Amino acid sequence: MLVKNVFRQNSFYTALYQMIPDNHILKQIDSAIDLSFVNDLLADR
């Protein structure tokens, strides 16, 4: 069986986010609060 290795580059921001410890206060806030509505509110700006 042949296995195809595919290298995928994560974005710069994903790499930075992964470096932040899981118990960091900003990650805890991010997991507790959904701010996705802000994108809709600012879409026309």
Q: What are phi and psi of 44, to 5 degrees?
A: -90, 10
Residue 35's identity, in one-letter code, is L
**What SS3 state is found at 2?**
coil
26, 20 Cβ separation under 8 angstroms: yes
pLDDT computed for residue 15 by the predictor: 86
| pLDDT for 6 | 65
Q: How far apart are CA 45 and CA 42, in angstroms?
A: 5
Structure tokens at 43: 């879409």
Rg of the Cα atoms in the chain: 17
CB 10 within 8 A of CB 16: no
pTM of the model: 0.48
> What pLDDT score was predicted for residue 7?
61
Q: Which pLDDT tens digit goes with each residue over 2-44? A: 667 666 667 888 888 889 999 999 899 989 999 899 999 999 9
